Structure formats: C-alpha cells, structure tokens
Amino acid sequence: MPLPRPVAALAAVPLLCAALAAPAAADPAPRYAALGDSYAAGVAAGSYDPASGDCHRSGRGYPALWAAAHGAALTDAACSAAGADDVRRDQLPKVAADTTVVTLTVGGNDLGFTSAAVDCLQPLTTDARCERTLDTAAHHLDDDLPGRLDTLYSAVRAAAPAARVVVTGYPRLLQTGTTCLLATESRRQRFNALTDRLDELIRRQSAAHGFAFADVRPVFDGHGTCGGGKEEWINGIVVSHLWESFHPTADGQARGYLPTVAALL
C-alpha cells in the first residue's frame, strides 16, 4: 500500500542525508602538455633537466610550476630554439589525445628574435644593421607567421580535441626612458614595437581557433632589462651562457608567466 505523502517524505530524509554526506568523486589529475620554445622551456630560470639536453627545460619554468601546483601529469615537450613548424613536427606527436590542458609559447624564433637581439641590443652594432634585421623580422611577421600559426593551431586542436588551450605572448624585453648600455632608446622602442605586433598576431590567431590568450606584457611592465634600478625579470647579456640572454629569470617565470597563465586555466 502506498505510504501517505508526509510519511513518504520523511522516509526519504535518510537517503537524502546519506547522499549529501557521501564524499564527492575527486577530479582526475589534469593531463597537461606544455609546448613551445625557450620561453616555455624556462631557459634562464635554471634547474635544467639534464635529460632535456639542448632544449634546456627548467623545473622553474611556468609549465613545471603549474603542474606541480595542480598535481598534473605533465608532458613537457618545449624546446629552446623551436619555431611553429618545429612544435608541429617534433612536439605535437608527444601529446596524448586525452590531454586536458595545453599551453603554448611560440613565434619569436620564426621572426629571428635571436638575430634581432644580437644586431640591436648590444652597443657595438650600428643602427643600420639593427634596422635591416628588424625589417626582415617584420616581413616574416606579415608574410610567413600567420600561416604557420594557423596550421599549428589547427594541429593542436586535432591532437588534443577536448583540451583547454592557452597560448601565451611575449613580454617587452626592454624598459624605455632609462639609461642603458645595451641599446639606444630608439632601438629599444622599435624592438618593443615588434614584440607588440607579434603579440597582437598571436592574440588574433589564437582567438580564431577558440584558444585563450595569456598577455604577459602588463605583469612584466617595469621589469624588463634596462630597468634603471627596478627589479628585472628579463636577463640582459649573460656572458657565461649567451643562450640565456634576453629570457625571463626564475622570477619572471614564477611571478610573470605563471599567474597570467594560471588565471586562464
């Protein structure tokens, strides 16, 4: 015989309480793939993984820091000197289809940022040489990089169809309005302007593919090299390890890149 409605409601109370008291199922650990160039690898942050060789992956880079903080299973494929095509060819095959989080920093090497740093950010080079190098970089930005990024971003989505993807930009490396032996004010301004153009291209391309864009320029503002006494999160010329020059320090990774990326994840 059916129970009267008030009695049936009372009978359901223990079941409801038991359901509320039952522990919620733990969220699975994120399956995280970190892709990109030396900025993603953590070059200049130190504590390099010996197994990474010339890729110079650091335990102080933003991918390793985020993975440690969130118990993520990390596949760190980032590598110094990588361009967009290198990421697609060499790094993406390491990404599992069930990856839930992907971060990506790439684009600077496609423009020849290393050559630009050598030709512009030291006192022994001429303005003419710097201008030619930056003109070449601007040409690659306009004519080559949009297609490379489009192809790469499509490949990232195909490799990790359900992942949250965060694409980062680059900080302005140089403070302006200060006295600096590395470069003249005009060279620093033009170098930073090229960085801004690169970041805006990355922003547009990533948005077109439904990816989040992590703009690190605001948090790095005031912390570039040539800071005029302020705390610098970007190395100048590192004579002992030239490949660490003009890269974020451990503070730049932990206090610049990490919080900006984490806010989007």
What is the distance between the alpha carbons of residues 254 and 70, in angstroms, rounded to a whole number?
A: 15
Q: In angstroms, rounded to a whole number, what is the distance separating the alpha carbons of residues 182 and 111?
A: 21
Question: From the candidates 38, 58, 80, 245, which is the catalytic residue?
Answer: 38
38 assigned to active site: yes
* The residue to which tokens 């390793």 are assigned: 64
Residue 136: half-sphere exposure toward Cβ, Cα within 13 Å: 15
Given its phi and psi angles, is residue 215 left (phi above 0), alpha (psi -120 to 50 degrees) or beta?
beta
Q: 58 an active-site residue?
A: no
Token pair 């130190």 in the structure block, residue: 46
| Closest residue by Cα to residue 253 from 31, 27, 20, 56 | 56
Which strands make up the sheet holding 164-168, listed edge to edge?
73-76, 31-36, 101-105, 164-168, 212-214
Tell me how far apart the alpha carbons of residues 28 and 40 are, in angstroms, rounded to a whole number: 25
Which distant-in-sequence residues (6+ apart) come within 8 Å of 105 by Cβ?
Answer: 35, 36, 37, 39, 40, 78, 167, 168, 170
**Catalytic positions:** 38, 247
